[in-house]
Amino acid sequence: MIYEDEYVTCFLDHDPFNEGHTLILPKQHSLDVDELDEETANAIMKASILLSKALKHLYQPDGITINQNGGVFNELTHYHMHVVPRYKGQWFGDFYTEEAVGEVDVRELERVRGRMVEVIEEIIK
């Protein structure tokens, strides 16, 4: 986990598109965005802003993609939002390719998590 408040929990994607790819999940179960209550929806957006600031600080991406997939396209069967640093030459459709990027080293995820937590704590101060 890299960030948590009363409404949301944020953690790294186990199969990241790019280093720092983070998920925001509400604590209250919802499948789709239209099922979120106002407080939870606001908390998700606030978390996306916080994560975007941290990702920009750590990785200097050319942009941040924030998205969610609803209905049958939500493979977790729980609403979640992706916050992904992206770079020139990475097209939006690349995010949805089925190509495997290889094994993700758990130690590498832990290193990224530590850096993200450190930057988020600095931003919140």
Over residues 2-41, the pLDDT tens digits come to: 999 999 999 999 888 899 999 999 999 999 999 999 999 9
- Locate the domains of the chain by residue range: 3-124
Six token digits for residue 48: 């996306």
According to CATH, the topology of domain 3-124 is HIT family, subunit A (3.30.428)
pLDDT over 80 (residue 96): no
Nearest Cα to 83, choosing from 109, 118, 54, 122? 54
- The stretches of the chain forming alpha helices (DSSP H) are 38-59, 106-124
pLDDT digits (tens, 9 = 90+) for 63-81: 999 999 888 888 888 999 9
